[in-house]
Amino acid sequence: MPLPKTAPISHASPSDAASSPPLPAPVFHDAAHHIKIYQGDCLEILAAIPEASVDLIFADPPYFLSNNGITCHAGRMVSVDKGDWDKSRGADANHQFNRDWLAACQRVLQPNGTIWVSGTSHVIHSVGFAMQQLGFKLLNDISWVKPNPPPNLSCRYFTHATETIIWAAKNSKSRHTFNYKHMKQLAGGKQMKSVWTIPPPEPWQKKFGKHPTQKPVALLERILLAASAEGDLVLDPFSGSGTTLVAALRLSRRALAAEFDATWIQLALVRVCSDLVQVRIFAACLHFDLDPDRDPVDRSRSPVPDAPPTRLVRRDRNFHFVGASQRDVVFSVTADDLSDAWTRFHSSATSKTEILFVIKTETEIYLAQGK
């Protein structure tokens, strides 16, 4: 599916224009939900974002793990090489890279903003040291526990079952947001600890494809709920499959994302658009009950005892075409099957519209017959 075309949009104000390069045109822009995806080097994109404009950053940088090692996946031995972007360039070069992108993130954070950075032991110590060098205020280190980690094939190490997430404020003067009461509620009325047991991404999160370092939506939702409010601007400089965008959309946060690889942008785009379609469908649903005093019964799954005979009086099969750029229902038609629906679409006035999804709905109306 080709990326949607959008007009150039810049966040920069006149005062920023002289000091910052202009932002490139986003490859994806949803004005209604305030979501933008930019393609390119994160350092270049961060340099073009206005200073002190972002409320929260989640970053999942390269772990530098792709060193011809092996791991276990679905009972099989597989390589851990994820691509050139994840190859180590040596301890000094890796640390300088971390300093560079963290400094760029620190510049765009608003005075009371915070950053969350995920990593394993291969990178997280460098991240923490770089934060100290740059003057961030370290708030917590979260241990994310994975309930079913892959086994260690060499049997010479403990099984890697955790990742560390460092939570830090912009500097020592920051008065960071922490939604303590909500976190306590999620923890069953007790103070939430810094050890979080959250399963890896479930199958429904990978139905459109999967990224080798994809994070679960539940993890990002907890982070956003803990340290941001509705309407806040969230930034992900290493967007990957777009999990941060999905969580931001679900929690009514504005979001910016940067990603270099067009393959992962495509995956993020499909995931976000899928959620957008679900949101629109849910908002358009109307529930009514003609018999409110009785317990609800799903008559499509099992017969109702002593139910009177019924007669089918009407059956409708409708197809709704959702546009790729407009992301709304652009054409609806009653048809016998999908092939017939596509034929009618191509004969309509909207035939040149690029389509992202086709939704089929079926309605059957039965009339109860007296005994």
Residue 71 lies in a domain: yes
Same domain, 141 and 263: yes
pLDDT of 80 reads 55
Residue 295 lies in a domain: no
> Is the pLDDT reported for residue 348 higher than 70?
yes
pLDDT digits (tens, 9 = 90+) for 293-335: 444 444 444 444 555 677 777 778 889 888 876 667 888 998 8
Same domain, 227 and 326: no
> Is the pLDDT reported for residue 244 higher than 70?
yes
Q: Per mean pLDDT, which range of 96-100, 123-127, 143-147, 320-324 is the poorest?
A: 320-324
The per-residue pLDDT of the chain, averaged, comes to 81
Residue 192 lies in a domain: yes
Instruction: Find the CATH number of the domain harbouring 221.
Output: 3.40.50.150
Residue 299 lies in a domain: no
- pTM, whole model, 2 decimals? 0.67
Same domain, 34 and 81: yes
Same domain, 243 and 317: no
pLDDT of 13 reads 39
Last residue of a domain, one of 281, 299, 332: 281
**Domain housing 356:** 310-368
Same domain, 182 and 76: yes
Percent of the chain with pLDDT over 90: 44
Please give the angle made by the CA atoms of 313, 315 and 319, to the nearest 5 degrees.
160
> Is the pLDDT reported for residue 181 higher than 90?
yes
Residue 6 lies in a domain: no
Same domain, 28 and 172: yes
Residue 293 lies in a domain: no
Last residue of a domain, one of 233, 260, 281: 281
Residue 220 lies in a domain: yes
Last residue of a domain, one of 264, 281, 298: 281
Q: How many domains does the chain have?
A: 2
Same domain, 319 and 241: no
pLDDT (average), residues 160-179: 96
pLDDT (average), residues 205-219: 79
Same domain, 54 and 119: yes
Residue 3 lies in a domain: no
Percent of the chain with pLDDT over 70: 76
pLDDT digits (tens, 9 = 90+) for 34-89: 999 999 999 999 999 999 999 999 999 998 765 655 444 545 555 455 556 556 78
Same domain, 229 and 318: no
Gap between the Cα atoms of 186 and 222, Å rounded: 9
Same domain, 248 and 207: yes
Same domain, 59 and 194: yes
> Is the pLDDT reported for residue 201 higher than 50?
yes
Same domain, 317 and 275: no
pLDDT (average), residues 12-39: 76
